[in-house]
């Protein structure tokens, strides 16, 4: 395993300073792939950031280590070699990992700390000029729904180093293939990653780094956070406790609305149970029709994953027939519910019933995310 490691900083009395930030990406790529996005583009970003750091005021309060690791594709051996054998690894307190799971477009924050750490999320919220993040993304990876891995796991598992993990995800059909070429990367992708990386390094090593460093490792900030960006313009971050209150209010408002819309408790229970059942069956029908459509396209026409290179095809091929089947079902489900006097849905339309049910399901999901 061969890694290239560069450190920007200074020695105090012949010793390196004890607090450092590591920026990591990998030089290798999958066989038969040009590796332009995964991950030569990220290495190019690191080189440009490295050049900019050298050109600025060299009096940084903390060091920056640039790790160009040479063995990520073979079970993350390059990053493991660094954290287990390199003497600089013991100085590293924060990781910025640059990865790729697609070709071009823009990067999303896959991980923030070990478990959506509030202090790190607030630093990203404050300093990243081109943010793209969602708590749901980390939940998906953290619970193993995506069979993928990055060097971030090595740092947090074997060295206990928290950090940011960024990766692009669009154009997955070109990922790890000969189509991962320089034409697909795009200047905007490089600019977003470069400016975000440089801004985070500045926040952790520059003039405001003492304050940020203290907030980053403060005990009250070592708690899970809810994170999402709004159209890439800004990031919303709030703590687990705030989330519990906000999400609980969604359920409370739904309960209040039910109390004022139904004459008796019995009608509330019957109506909600009936609509919930109808809505869940509609959701199951939507998924079944989508799956059946995929089987027909794949087995019947020999065109598996037809949509992956043309994402817009998802709407006519899968969403449209599934939505039509679900609305057709909800129409007759509503007609059936209207026959019972105990259920106050007279005059309700299928879409109204669906929205009522799915809004309550969304409230339940929001409340469940408090943990």
Per-residue pLDDT of the chain (371 residues; tens, 9 = 90+): 899 999 998 888 888 888 899 999 999 999 889 999 998 999 999 999 999 998 876 678 899 999 999 999 999 999 999 999 999 999 999 999 999 988 888 999 998 888 778 889 999 999 999 999 998 888 888 888 888 889 999 999 999 999 999 999 888 888 889 999 998 898 999 999 999 999 999 999 988 888 888 888 888 888 888 899 998 899 999 988 888 888 788 777 767 766 666 566 666 666 667 766 777 787 788 889 988 988 888 888 888 777 777 778 888 888 888 888 887 877 777 777 666 544 555 455 555 555 666 665 665 555 554 44
The pLDDT tens digits for 220-242 are 888 888 899 998 899 999 988 88
Q: State residue 96's pLDDT score.
A: 96
| Cα 37 to chain centroid, rounded | 18
Nearest partner of 96 among 55, 67, 122, judged by Cα: 67
Q: State residue 363's pLDDT score.
A: 57
Interatomic CA distance for residues 133 and 232, integer angstroms: 8
Give yes or no: 195 in active site: no
Cα within 13 Å of Cα(150), Cβ side:
26
Residue 162 in contact with residue 114, Cβ under 8 Å? yes
Interatomic CA distance for residues 177 and 165, integer angstroms: 23
Q: State residue 157's pLDDT score.
A: 92
Interatomic CA distance for residues 203 and 195, integer angstroms: 12
The pLDDT tens digits for 301-352 are 888 777 777 778 888 888 888 888 887 877 777 777 666 544 555 455 555 5
Q: pTM of the entire structure?
A: 0.79
Residue 101 in contact with residue 172, Cβ under 8 Å? yes
Q: State residue 221's pLDDT score.
A: 84
Q: Of 72, 73, 99, 202, which is the active-site residue?
A: 72
Nearest partner of 148 among 167, 129, 134, judged by Cα: 167
Q: State residue 370's pLDDT score.
A: 44
Interatomic CA distance for residues 259 and 261, integer angstroms: 6
Q: State residue 346's pLDDT score.
A: 46
| Cα 330 to chain centroid, rounded | 33
Polymer length of the chain: 371
Phi (first) and psi of residue 344, to 5 degrees: -85, 70
């Amino acid at each position: 395993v061969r890694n290239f490691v560069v450190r920007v900083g200074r020695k105090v009395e012949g010793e390196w300073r004890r607090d450092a930030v590591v920026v990591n990406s990998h030089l290798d790529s999958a066989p038969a792939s040009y590796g332009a996005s995964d991950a030569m583009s990220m290495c190019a970003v690191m080189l440009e950031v490295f050049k900019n750091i050298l050109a600025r005021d060299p009096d940084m309060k903390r060091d920056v280590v640039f790790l160009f690791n040479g063995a990520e594709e073979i079970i993350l051996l390059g990053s493991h070699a660094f954290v287990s054998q390199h003497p600089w690894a013991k100085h590293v307190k924060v990781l910025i990992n640059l990865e790729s799971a697609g070709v071009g477009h823009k990067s999303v924050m896959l991980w923030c700390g070990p478990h959506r750490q509030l202090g790190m999320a607030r630093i990203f919220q404050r300093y990243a000029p081109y943010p793209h993040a969602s708590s749901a993304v980390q939940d998906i990876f953290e619970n193993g729904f995506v069979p993928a891995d990055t060097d971030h796991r090595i740092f947090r598992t074997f060295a206990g180093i928290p950090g940011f993990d960024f990766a692009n995800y669009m154009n997955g059909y070109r990922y790890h293939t000969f189509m991962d070429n320089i034409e697909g990367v795009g200047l905007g992708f490089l600019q977003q990653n470069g400016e975000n990386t440089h801004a985070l390094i500045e926040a952790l090593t520059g003039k405001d780094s003492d304050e940020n460093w203290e907030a980053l490792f403060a005990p009250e900030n070592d708690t899970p956070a809810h994170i999402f960006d709004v159209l890439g313009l800004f990031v919303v971050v709030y703590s687990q406790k705030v989330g519990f209150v906000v999400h609980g209010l969604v359920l409370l408002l739904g309960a209040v609305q039910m109390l004022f819309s139904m004459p008796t408790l019995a009608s509330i229970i019957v109506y909600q149970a009936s609509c919930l059942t109808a809505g869940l069956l509609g959701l199951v029908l939507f998924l079944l029709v989508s799956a059946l459509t995929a089987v027909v396209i794949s087995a019947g026409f020999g065109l598996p994953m037809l949509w992956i290179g043309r994402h817009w095809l998802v709407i006519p091929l899968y969403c449209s027939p599934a939505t039509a089947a679900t609305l057709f079902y909800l129409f007759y489900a509503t007609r059936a519910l209207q026959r019972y006097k105990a259920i106050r849905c007279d005059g309700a339309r299928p879409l109204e019933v669906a929205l009522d049910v799915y809004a309550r399901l969304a409230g339940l999901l929001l409340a469940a995310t408090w943990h």
